[in-house]
Structure 1
Amino acid sequence: MLTLPADGSNPDLSLLYDVNGLAKDAPSWVDGAVSWIGEYGILLGLGLLCLTAWLRARRQPDAPVAVAAVAWAPLAAAVAAILNIPIRALVARPRPFVEHTGLDVLASGKDDFSFASDHATLTMAIAVALLLAERRLGVLAVLFALLQGFCRVYMGVHYPTDVLGGYALGTAVVLLLAPPATAVLVPLCRSLARTAAAPLVAARGRRDGAAQAPYDSGSGTGHPGSGIAA
């Protein structure tokens, strides 16, 4: 089990108290808003960004490839969340409010382990995958993920290192598994483009077999895992 010193010499614990201390001085409506955003709002926002990226990808010159890149975002988040299950059990770090007093806890029912943060893992996985697929939306998604980490510490339900661990896990899953994901998702989307499900992967006039024009540099849509917008 991972434990922390109870005194102020530990920067992880000190930062937790500093950030969570903001909740003690904030109006109740601010605490309520941060709690809702940290629990549900940012995940919903990232879902809308994924939807926007998908709609834009369907209009790319090689739409099936662009859609495959966007599809990797939610899939990578799911894979990262599953991998975090044994990590949490192995590390077995209790929630901060279990071992430390004086925290203003803004979420109830958090009786599972703390490291790594599921919310941080999910949001950063989506953000990094979107950054590879759709540069502009990806930058916004990364900002959302960073805000997610702040909210979880503010709410008193995670140590800062829980958040950093989630960020690292989400990023690693996206980058390390992108090549095999590309090998599966691109052919799958190309196949779908030749079926009745074609509207899912290509807007009208962008069916598979269209001219392979270069990607629009402004949109930043590329292959999953390339890290470079063509």
Structure 2
Amino acid sequence: MASADGGSSGPDVDLLYDINGLAKDAPGWFDHAVSFVGEYGIVFGLGVLMVCAWWSVRRGPDAAQGVAALLWAPLAAGLALLVNVPIRGFVRRPRPFLEHQGLDVLVRGKTDFSFVSDHATLTMALGVGLFVAHRRYGLMGIGLAFAEGFCRVFMGVHYPTDVVGGLALGTAVVLLLAPLAMMGLTPVAARVGSSRVGWLVRSRRTTVSLAVAGPEALPAGRPGAHRDKGLAA
């Protein structure tokens, strides 16, 4: 079914106009703020959460597993973006402002295809990866990913389904490949933790505490144990 402006219509387009319509009613400073947050701010915020989670997990007895999960988060995000390249080329969906009139486009220069949203894919992969390492910071990261999705539609550069597809893609890549990734990254993190730069994986205070407590205090290597510690952190 076609709309009056020559583009397709339906719930996806209706929701696009509803959310983007908020930008028309908002003051200019708010639109600029959302544009900055949607382009750069949320990604920066996720980076801050990564640093906070790293500082927390390295103080626990399962630090190697926690740090390995944090390493997997950006790797998974990069892999998800690579997976999105052929998806975009296959679907070849134009940006919404190219098919629909009257949208308030807050960011110019977007000439690539619309489905799937790279920003939604990236932020959700980082958020879910954070959740694997540390539940509290992970929930914050997932919340930021949903905020990113809203910003992309608010800015007029993506359809809601572009965002939903990105959130799903980022989640799928992280969770489906996490067991294999953790098998490879955990030994690497453990080796770094016992090296001269071991502070990257385990805080000095934790290392001293484990040495004083003896071998029985060492982590048993139970999968996902670092996540339980994250809840209490």
TM-score, normalized by length of structure 2? 0.88
Aligned counterparts of 1:41 and 1:199: Cα–Cα separation in 2:
29
Q: Residue 46 of structure 2 contacts residue 126 of structure 2 at CA under 8 Å; is this kept in 1?
A: yes
Aligned counterparts of 1:122 and 1:154: Cα–Cα separation in 2:
18
Alignment of 1:6 onto 2:12: no
The equivalent of 2:35 in structure 1 is 35
TM-score, normalized by length of structure 1? 0.89
**1:144 positional shift:** 0.6
Alignment of 1:219 onto 2:218: no
**1:21 positional shift:** 0.5
Alignment of 1:49 onto 2:46: no
Alignment of 1:118 onto 2:118: yes
Which structure features the higher share of helix residues?
2
Q: Could you say which structure has the larger radius of gyration? A: 2
Q: Residue 62 of structure 1 contacts residue 206 of structure 1 at CA under 8 Å; is this kept in 2?
A: no
- Residue pairs, 1:122-133, within 5 angstroms: 122-133=122-133
Deviating more after overlay: 205-214 vs 117-126:
205-214
The equivalent of 2:137 in structure 1 is 137
Q: Residue 133 of structure 2 contacts residue 226 of structure 2 at CA under 8 Å; is this kept in 1?
A: no
1:30–1:203 Cα change, 3 Å:
same
**1:218 positional shift:** 6.0
Per the alignment, in what secondary structure is the counterpart of residue 206 of structure 2? coil
Q: Residue 120 of structure 1 contacts residue 148 of structure 1 at CA under 8 Å; is this kept in 2?
A: yes
Q: Residue 42 of structure 2 contacts residue 144 of structure 2 at CA under 8 Å; is this kept in 1?
A: yes
**1:168 positional shift:** 0.6
1:104–1:130 Cα change, 3 Å:
same
- Report the identity percentage: 55
Q: Which runs of 5+ in 2 are unaligned?
A: 220-224
CA deviations over 1:108-145 (Å, ceiling 9, x no partner): 11000000000000111111111122111111111111
One-letter amino acid of the counterpart of residue 130, structure 2: L
- How many residue pairs align between the two structures? 219
**1:212 positional shift:** 2.8
Q: Residue 127 of structure 2 contacts residue 138 of structure 2 at CA under 8 Å; is this kept in 1?
A: yes
The equivalent of 2:222 in structure 1 is none
Root-mean-square deviation (CA), in Å?
2.1
Aligned counterparts of 2:79 and 2:206: Cα–Cα separation in 1:
30
Alignment of 1:65 onto 2:76: no
Per the alignment, in what secondary structure is the counterpart of residue 98 of structure 1? helix
Per the alignment, in what secondary structure is the counterpart of residue 206 of structure 1? helix
Q: Which runs of 5+ in 1 are unaligned?
A: 222-228
One-letter amino acid of the counterpart of residue 231, structure 2: G
Q: Residue 134 of structure 2 contacts residue 226 of structure 2 at CA under 8 Å; is this kept in 1?
A: no
Q: Residue 133 of structure 2 contacts residue 227 of structure 2 at CA under 8 Å; is this kept in 1?
A: no
Q: Residue 57 of structure 1 contacts residue 70 of structure 1 at CA under 8 Å; is this kept in 2?
A: no
